């Protein structure tokens, strides 16, 4: 059983694409109330590690223990033009299939309240009726973060949330992730942004698919 001190633990995680090793015996600990930056050069295995931690991809070897719901925020998400979705609708997706602990499914009133709270927390309340595809990259990242907040996830995994953003958007993203950690969530983000790495509570570095000190 995972220790109550940790939100997520990965042990001896290994993965390969065919004959190409991507991760080798990687250990990960994510703590409640902290931001962990996962750093390293391109090709180090960072994105694959995040997918494994989120349960999107299965490791060839090793185990992952999660103490709570996980929200994965990926890069460059779009929706087809033939399926126009508003920001509110994208955030509402986070409430699909969830229920309050120990009771039935959430009702429409609670769903609406969760979505409104999440949009407010990521400063997108004024964009609720706007098309998701019309948002900037940073705004899309915030909308997907709101999706996890509406789901009441307590573990947030973000794959390069600062990629392609200007300095102001990177700072806004760092602030929001720190705020979620202050509320008790465990936050991990892949990052090449030195300011984001320096601002993290913990830093984990990968090189050639291995964790380095």
**What are the backbone dihedrals phi and psi of residue 196, each rounded to the nearest 5 degrees, phi first?**
-65, -40
Fold category of 6-212 in CATH: Rossmann fold (3.40.50)
Answer yes or no: is pLDDT of 134 > 70. Answer: yes
Q: Could you give the CA distance from residue 43 to residue 22 in angstroms, rounded to a whole number?
A: 8
Residue 82 pLDDT? 59
Q: What percent of the chain has pLDDT above 70? A: 90
Q: pLDDT tens, 77-109? A: 555 665 689 999 999 998 887 655 544 577 889
Residue 27 has pLDDT above 80, yes or no: yes
Helices and strands per DSSP (H, E), number in the chain: 6, 9
pLDDT digits (tens, 9 = 90+) for 141-193: 889 899 999 999 999 999 988 777 788 888 888 898 999 999 999 999 999 88
**pLDDT attached to residue 103:** 44
User: What's the pTM?
Assistant: 0.87
Contacts of residue 16, defined as CB under 8 A and 6 or more positions apart, other chains included, come to 22, 60
Q: What is the pLDDT of residues 32-57, one digit of tens each?
A: 999 999 999 999 999 999 999 999 99
The pLDDT of residue 164 = 76
**CA gyration radius, the chain:** 17
Tell the burial category of 74 from Cβ atoms under 10 Å away from its Cβ (0-12, 13-18, 19+): middle
**pLDDT surpasses 90 at 116:** yes
106 exposed, middle or buried (CB, 10 Å; 0-12, 13-18, 19+)?
middle
């Amino acid at each position: 059983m995972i220790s109550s001190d940790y939100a997520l633990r990965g042990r001896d995680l290994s993965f390969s694409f065919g004959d190409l090793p991507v991760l080798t015996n990687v250990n990960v600990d994510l703590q409640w109330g902290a931001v962990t930056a996962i750093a390293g050069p391109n090709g180090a295995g960072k994105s694959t590690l995040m997918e494994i931690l989120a349960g999107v991809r299965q490791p060839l070897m090793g185990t992952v223990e999660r103490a709570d719901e996980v929200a994965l925020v990926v890069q460059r998400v779009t929706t087809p033009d033939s399926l126009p979705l508003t920001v509110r609708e994208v955030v509402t997706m986070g409430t699909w299939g969830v229920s309050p602990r120990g009771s039935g499914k959430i009702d429409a009133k609670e769903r609406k309240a969760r979505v409104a709270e999440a949009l407010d927390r990521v400063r997108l309340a004024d964009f609720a009726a706007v098309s998701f595809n019309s948002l900037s990259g940073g705004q899309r990242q915030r909308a997907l973060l709101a999706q996890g907040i509406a789901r009441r996830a307590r573990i947030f995994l973000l794959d390069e949330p600062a990629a392609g953003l200007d300095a102001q958007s990177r700072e806004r993203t760092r602030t929001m992730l720190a705020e979620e950690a202050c509320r008790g969530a465990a936050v991990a983000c892949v990052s090449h942004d030195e300011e984001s790495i320096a601002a993290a509570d913990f830093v984990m570095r990968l090189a050639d698919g291995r964790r380095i000190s």
